[in-house]
């Protein structure tokens, strides 16, 4: 009997031993540290020997750098997005430009040579080059005009870019360990760190922390491997100091009126259109009109007008516009050519200086989105001779909307002396519904959004001295809308002649009237002393640099009492 029991016992013991070994192996496997290593090239999405990952601050971004002939390059779009928007590409003339307050730095794409007003310099490397249709710019060249730090690492190729230097959390590695793709002992190893190595702590969790190593590998280590966690302020890079863009803003509020001059004879109306004004200190005659795609324009400027205006105590900021001959000109063709921009700027500045004109008012409207960068470059380049000669540069803008971001008001606020909001045309000739030309919410939103991007003392808000008389006709289930722009007095005469009762509309802060004739609804939102006063109060609230008026001669004399009260506050 005993002989039969012994084998059974041995079998049970053997099963227990095997089970214990198996269970122990499972326990060991569960809690042991994986030695599997991640493919770093795949982790950084490296494809090819010239591909370079970018770590911006503490994030691997989707954009890539390139390593070409031993030089690190960024594509121009990446430079604009993360580092500096002032580098400008002229594809047709094969140029890369960089505009300073007093100079335009020129390089030919594919060349080592940098040119400025003092001469040329061989940089010792190709400054910019095309790879396919994409322009790449050497990082070291970008760094000549931009304050940032960078460090490169290999295996795989990656570059660390730093543009801000704020407090970070630092720790030392307590014991040799591994940095892993994710928190967990089974996660793949990205790199090894040794006791005493310093890491940046990016995020702390219960048992693991996300860290960045000295060579910009970001992953996870166990909290028990960290010691001495503390805040530390990195030493900022100060290799490049942004030059000062000086302005000639006045130490008083601007009160500017646009004087519509349709021909040389129109200059003779200066006395007439200013007869009832009060406190006017700037006049802007509509003198210069782009007329072809070579940078030429028509001009009605005369020295007699300038002398007369000066005798009246007025500065003259001559307007240049692109509306008169818009059917025969292509703004993209004009502004995207470095040569054409130079022709336009040189001619314009020379005429301003020859006539003794005090300023230039740029009124380029309906700029397409793809033309935006060229328009902004034009303003940068125009600002250089204006700054040199003390010519006031002002730029007219629509009320800000998402559709006009390419006008880059923030950059205008740097390079120009005044940024003018055309605070009207909320509803215009082509509008699908009748409405106010400039309701108070529309005006305030325009000022508030502009103040977010432009210094308040550089902002001028333009008031409408006109309104629109609207006619909405309904016939056979179809509706047609038309309107006519009229001056203040004509609008009030219209109300009187048609016995229209007007009431104050709190939503628009304007007097509103309407009447129906047959199947046509006639409507008018008046601009008058009260509506203008409310707008001026909003302008005072934001502390902006002054007021402009479109257009002189359309106002009632009483309006100037309100403007004078605003100027004297």
73-78 own/partner pairs: CB under 8 Å, 24+ apart: 73/128, 73/129, 73/136, 73/137, 73/138, 73/139, 74/136, 74/137, 74/139, 74/142, 75/134, 75/135, 75/136, 75/137, 76/128, 76/134, 76/135, 76/136, 76/137, 78/54
- Residue 5: left (phi > 0), alpha (psi -120 to 50), or beta? alpha
SS3 239: coil
pLDDT at 532: 98
More confident residue, 134 or 401: 134
The residues pairing with 486 across neighbouring beta strands, listed in sequence order, are 467
Statement: residue 27 has pLDDT above 60: no
Give mean pLDDT, residues 417-423: 98
Cβ neighbours of residue 357 closer than 8 Å, sequence gap 6 or more: 301, 306, 316, 317, 318, 351, 391
Give dist(CA 86, CA 79) in Å, integer: 9
Give mean pLDDT, residues 481-510: 98
Give dist(CA 434, CA 516) in Å, integer: 14
pLDDT at 273: 98
**Could you report the per-residue pLDDT of 362-394, keeping only the tens digit for each?**
999 999 999 999 999 999 999 999 999 999 999
Q: What percentage of the chain reaches a pLDDT higher than 70?
A: 95
Helices (H), 462-555: 488-497, 529-541
**Could you report the per-residue pLDDT of 270-327, keeping only the tens digit for each?**
999 999 999 999 999 999 999 999 999 999 999 999 999 999 999 999 999 999 999 9
Give dist(CA 438, CA 467) in Å, integer: 9
pLDDT at 7: 62
pLDDT at 477: 86
Q: Which two tokens stand for residue 391?
A: 């010519």
Give mean pLDDT, residues 523-530: 98
Give mean pLDDT, residues 246-272: 97
Statement: residue 25 has pLDDT above 80: no
Instruction: Indicate the helix (H) or strand (E) that contains 310.
Output: helix 303-311
Confidence of residue 227 (pLDDT cuts 50, 70, 90): very high
State residue 47 phi and psi, 5-degree precision.
-130, 100
Statement: residue 172 has pLDDT above 60: yes
- Is the Cβ–Cβ distance between 338 and 299 less than 8 Å? no
Give mean pLDDT, residues 100-108: 98
Number of C-alpha atoms within 13 angstroms, CB side, residue 461?
A: 31
pTM here is: 0.93
Alpha carbon distances (Å) from 524 to 130, 375, 488: 57, 36, 11
Q: Which two tokens stand for residue 209?
A: 């922390």
Instruction: Indicate the helix (H) or strand (E) that contains 7.
Output: helix 2-31
The residues pairing with 160 across neighbouring beta strands, listed in sequence order, are 55, 151
pLDDT at 371: 98
> How many helices (DSSP H) and strands (DSSP E) are in the chain?
14, 34
Helices (H), 322-454: 331-335, 338-355, 372-389, 409-415, 440-451
Give dist(CA 206, CA 241) in Å, integer: 43
pLDDT at 538: 98
Give mean pLDDT, residues 474-485: 94
Confidence of residue 13 (pLDDT cuts 50, 70, 90): low
Which structural domains are found in the chain, ordered by start? 43-161 (no CATH), 165-232 (2.30.30.40)
pLDDT at 21: 47
Give dist(CA 202, CA 197) in Å, integer: 16
Mean pLDDT estimate for the chain: 95
pLDDT at 29: 52
Give mean pLDDT, residues 437-452: 98
Confidence of residue 10 (pLDDT cuts 50, 70, 90): low
pLDDT at 8: 60
Burial class (CB in 10 A: 0-12, 13-18, 19+), 432: exposed
Give dist(CA 368, CA 48) in Å, integer: 38
């Amino acid at each position: 009997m005993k002989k039969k029991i012994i084998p059974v016992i041995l079998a049970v013991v053997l099963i227990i031993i095997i089970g214990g070994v198996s269970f122990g192996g499972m326990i060991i496997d569960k809690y042991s540290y994986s030695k599997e290593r991640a493919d770093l090239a795949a982790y950084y999405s490296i494809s090819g020997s010239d591909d370079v990952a970018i770590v911006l601050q503490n994030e691997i971004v989707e954009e890539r750098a390139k390593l070409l002939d031993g030089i690190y390059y960024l594509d121009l779009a990446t430079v604009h997005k993360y580092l500096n928007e002032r580098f400008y590409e002229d594809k047709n003339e094969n140029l890369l430009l960089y505009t300073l307050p007093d100079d335009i730095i020129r390089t030919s794409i594919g060349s080592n040579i940098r040119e400025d007003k003092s001469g040329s310099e061989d940089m010792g490397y190709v400054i910019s080059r095309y790879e396919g249709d994409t322009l790449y710019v050497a990082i070291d060249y970008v760094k000549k005009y931009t304050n940032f730090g960078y460090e490169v690492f290999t295996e795989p190729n990656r570059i660390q870019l730093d543009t801000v230097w704020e407090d970070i959390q630092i720790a030392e590695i307590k014991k040799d360990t591994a940095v892993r793709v994710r928190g967990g002992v089974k996660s793949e190893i990205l790199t090894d760190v040794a006791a005493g190595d310093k890491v940046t702590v990016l995020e702390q969790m219960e048992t693991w922390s996300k860290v960045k190593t000295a060579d910009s590998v970001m992953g996870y280590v166990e909290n028990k491997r960290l010691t001495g966690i503390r805040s530390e302020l990195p030493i900022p890079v100060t290799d490049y100091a942004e030059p000062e863009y000086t302005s000639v803003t006045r130490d008083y509020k601007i009160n500017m009126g646009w004087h519509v001059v349709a021909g040389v004879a129109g200059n003779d109306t200066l006395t007439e259109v200013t007869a009832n004004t009060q406190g006017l200190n700037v006049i802007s005659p509509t003198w210069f009109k782009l007329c072809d795609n070579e940078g030429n324009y028509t001009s009605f400027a005369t020295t007699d007008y300038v002398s007369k205006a000066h005798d009246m105590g007025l500065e003259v900021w001559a307007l240049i516009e692109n509306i008169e001959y818009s059917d025969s000109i292509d703004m993209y063709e004009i502004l995207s050519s470095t040569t054409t921009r130079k022709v336009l700027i040189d001619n314009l500045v020379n005429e301003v200086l020859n006539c003794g004109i005090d300023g230039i008012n740029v009124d380029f409207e309906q700029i397409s989105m793809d033309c935006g960068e060229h328009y902004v470059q034009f303003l940068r380049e125009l600002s250089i001779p204006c700054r040199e000669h003390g010519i006031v540069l002002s730029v007219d803008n629509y009320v800000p909307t998402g559709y006009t971001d390419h006008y880059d008001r923030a950059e205008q606020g740097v390079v120009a002396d005044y940024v003018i909001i055309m605070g009207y045309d909320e509803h215009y000739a082509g509008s699908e519904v009748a409405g106010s030309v400039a309701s108070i919410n529309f005006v305030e939103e325009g000022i508030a959004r502009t103040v977010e991007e432009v210094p308040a003392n550089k902002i001028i808000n333009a008031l409408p001295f006109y309104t629109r008389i609207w006619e909405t006709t309904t016939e056979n289930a179809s509706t047609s809308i038309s309107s006519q722009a009229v001056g203040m007095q004509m609008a009030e005469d219209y109300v009187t002649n048609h016995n229209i009762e007007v009431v104050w509309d709190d939503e628009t802060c304007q007097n509103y009237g309407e009447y129906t004739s047959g199947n046509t609804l006639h409507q008018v939102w008046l601009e008058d002393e009260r509506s203008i006063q409310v707008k001026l109060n909003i302008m005072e609230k934001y502390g902006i640099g002054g007021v402009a008026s479109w257009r002189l001669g359309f106002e009632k004399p009483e309006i100037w009492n309100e403007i004078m009260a605003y100027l004297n506050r």
